Amino acid sequence: MGRGLLLLAVLAALTLLTEVQPSSAEPSLTVAVRNAEHVVNELRIVIDGPSGRLTYEGRTSVTLTGALRGSYTVSVYWRKHLVAVRSVAVNVENVVETIELPFFNFAMRVVDLNGADLPGPFVVRVEPDDAYGELRVVGSSLVLVNAVRTLFYTVTVNWESPVYHRTAQGVAAGYGSDLMSRGTITLPVGDVRVAVVDHKGRGLGGAVLATANVRMTTGDDGVAILRRVPLAGGEGGISLPVTVTYEGFEVANQVLRVSREVRSFTLTASVYDLNVAVLGSAGQPLRGARASLLREGVEVGLAFADQGGQAQLNRVIPVKHFLRVEYKGLSEVVEIPPEAIRKGVVEVRLPVYIELGGVPLSFEGLVALAFVLVTTVLGTTLAIAFYLRRRTRKLQIRGPIFAVSTTASGSASRTHETSFPP
């Protein structure tokens, strides 16, 4: 009985010694960094634990032997940027912690507001500027080699238009993984609509719009579309000087302040309608009169007077012109100064007082015609009277008008002669 109890006690003691023996040994902590072989010389591993902080430079693997039990924080730095953090609990066993660094390559397409690729070259700035291995520009894409998914980047792209000589700037900001998911960086580059109208708001077709080294002709509706215009740079909106010419003369000049929000403009050109009133000397309208506008000896406009004597010439530039008005063989040329064109009204009177048989006569002509007619009638009357008188004088009657004679039987006879003086 006593021997049995003693044996049990010895066995219990051995069991206790067996359980306590391993616990007296200190565990180890091993940290292995993967996907960092290409940057091993720029790595720093920092381990914070019960015994304080330990730092290791230029290594991808670290082992702490005899680590104290407790919680450890493992931080991995690359070029002073924190790229990975792990919390590790160390108890009785050896612990191996493997950290996969989030290095990757990602690309972003550079597009305009319509989503179309913009051709390079680009000026690109990435912040932080040491948080990637290499920046490449391939066609319309930016490629960051050895970037970090967990770092926050700000990518600024400047693109200068070879057409308008203006620079557009676009910015994309986000973590590396977010930028990769986004896939594009949009620059404020888009189309600008310019409508050229006259003073009555009608589209001026055929006008030439010029800016930078671009020259475009407006359509029949007076609209021109400027393609791929930089709309915003580093300081906001962009100024775009525009000149409009029509028939070789400048009719509008304006600086357009374009932006993402403002891309449509209306320019009012100095082009006017010229209303020509063609009247006779009595103020009567001369329907059908031909009014032609001449500039430098060339006919640039033509209109015919309506029943009210009004002829309208459209799209007239306010420079010196000459107006030639013709009506049934009559013609008048007057000079039209720019001021008259801006006012839009010109009156031309032709020496037409009345029309007889479709032939226009002036008042003087009518008086002259009346004088001629009266003179002709009087002359004709006098001529006829003179003729009759002269004719009468030449007429003479000779011989008896009557005669009485006495025959042999004793009848009496009488003879009476009447004659007219010659």
Residue 140 one-letter amino acid: S
In contact, 70 and 50? CB cutoff 8 Å:
yes
Whole-number Cα distances in Å, 392 to 378, 399, 419, 420, 421: 21, 18, 14, 11, 11
Q: Are 355 and 327 in contact (CB under 8 A)?
A: no
Residue 128's pLDDT band (cuts 50, 70, 90) = very high
Helix, strand, or coil here: 184?
strand
Lowest mean pLDDT among 27-31, 78-82, 235-239, 244-248: 235-239
Residue 20: pLDDT over 60? no
| DSSP symbols for 366-401 | HHHHHHHHHHHHHHHHHHHHHHHHHHHHH----SEE
Secondary structure element (H or E) that encloses residue 2, with its range: helix 2-23
Domain stop point among 355, 370, 385: 355
Q: Is residue 1 part of a domain?
A: no
Same domain membership, residue 170 and residue 115: yes
Least confident of 226-230, 295-299, 364-368, 406-410: 406-410
384 — pLDDT class (breaks 50, 70, 90): confident
In a shared domain, residues 146 and 175? yes
Q: Which of 66-70, 73-77, 149-153, 407-411 has the lowest mean pLDDT?
A: 407-411
Q: Is residue 16 part of a domain?
A: no
% pLDDT > 90, the chain: 71
Residue type, 129: D
Q: For residues 90 and 413, give the distance between their C-alpha atoms in angstroms, rounded to a whole number.
A: 197
Q: List the end-to-end C-alpha distance of the chain, in Å, as a whole number.
A: 217
Please indicate, yes or no, if residue 210 is contained in any of the structural domains.
Answer: yes
Say if CB 421 and CB 397 are below 8 A apart: no
Residue 14 lies in a domain: no
Q: Is residue 4 part of a domain?
A: no
Lowest mean pLDDT across 292-296, 365-369, 417-421: 417-421
Contacts of 209 by beta carbon, 8 Å cutoff, 6+ apart: 194, 196, 215, 216, 217, 218, 224, 242, 243, 244
Same-domain pairing of 333 and 375: no
Residues 247 and 196 reside in one and the same domain: yes
Amino acid letter for position 187: L
Between 163 and 420, the higher pLDDT residue: 163
Q: What length is written for the chain? A: 422
* Mean pLDDT, range 361-389, rounded to an integer: 71
- Closest-CA residue to 101 (of 54, 50, 34): 34
pLDDT top residue among 291 and 414: 291
370 φ, ψ (degrees, to nearest 5): -60, -45
Check if the beta carbon of residue 216 is closer than 8 Å to that of residue 236: no
Return the H-helix or E-strand segment holding 15.
Answer: helix 2-23
For residue range 192-235, list pLDDT tens digits in order: 999 999 999 999 999 999 998 899 999 999 999 999 999 988 77
One DSSP character per residue, 44-63 reads EEEEEETTEEEEEES-SEEE
Q: Are residues 35 and 89 in the same domain?
A: yes
Mean pLDDT lowest for which of 108-112, 306-310, 360-364?
Answer: 360-364
Statement to judge: residues 289 and 336 lie in one domain: yes
Q: Are residues 223 and 255 in the same domain?
A: yes
Place of tokens 């924190």: 82
Decide if pLDDT at 304 tops 50: yes
Q: How confident is the model at residue 420 (pLDDT cuts 50, 70, 90)?
A: very low
Q: Give the burial class of 214: count Cβ atoms within 10 A of its Cβ; 0-12 exposed, 13-18 middle, 19 or more buried.
A: middle
Residues 305 and 344: beta-carbon distance below 8 Å: no
Structure-derived torsion over alpha carbons of residues 12, 13, 17, 20, reported in degrees to the nearest 10: 60
Rounded to the nearest 5°, which phi and psi values hold at 311?
Answer: -125, 130
The 8-class DSSP code of residue 100 comes to E
Predicted local confidence at residue 361, as pLDDT: 57
Tell me the DSSP string of 118-133. Answer: PPS--EEEEESTTSSS
Distance of CA 102 to the CA centre of its chain: 47
pLDDT at 373 over 80: no
| HSE-CB for 241 with a 13 A CA cutoff | 5
Q: Is the dihedral of CA 295, 301, 304, 309 positive or negative?
A: negative
Q: What is the CATH number of the domain that holds 345?
A: 2.60.40.1120
**To 5 degrees, how large is the angle CA 329–CA 331–CA 332?**
165
Q: Is residue 230 situated within a structural domain? A: yes
Query: How distant, in Å, are the alpha carbons of 23, 68, 115, 267 from that of 20?
Result: 5, 17, 70, 94
- The answer to whether residue 9 is domain-embedded is no
Same domain, 251 and 280: no
Task: Say whether both 350 and 276 belong to one domain.
Answer: yes
CA distances from 139 to 146, 355, 360 (A): 20, 80, 78
Which of residues 228, 244, 268 is at a domain's end? 268
Tell whether the model's pLDDT for residue 334 goes beyond 90: yes
Domain-embedded: residue 15: no
Q: Phi and psi at residue 96, in whole multiples of 5°?
A: -120, 120
Distance CA(21)–CA(17), nearest Å, equals 6
What range defines the domain where residue 243 resides? 189-268
* pLDDT value for 234: 75
Q: Highest mean pLDDT range out of 228-237, 344-353, 379-388?
A: 344-353
Residue 324: is its pLDDT beyond 80?
Answer: yes
Q: Do residues 281 and 295 share a domain?
A: yes
Mean pLDDT of 338-366: 79
Task: Please tell me whether residues 208 and 233 are part of one structural domain.
Answer: yes
Q: Name the average pLDDT for the chain.
A: 86
What is the count of structural domains for the chain? 5
Strand partners of residue 29: 64, 95
pLDDT of residue 358: 60
Local confidence band at 381 (pLDDT 50, 70, 90 cut-offs): confident
pLDDT at 23: 45
* pLDDT of 238 over the 70 cut: yes
What is the per-residue pLDDT for 1?
47
At which of 153, 171, 186 does a domain end?
Answer: 186
**Greatest extent of the chain over all pairs of C-alpha atoms, in Å:** 245
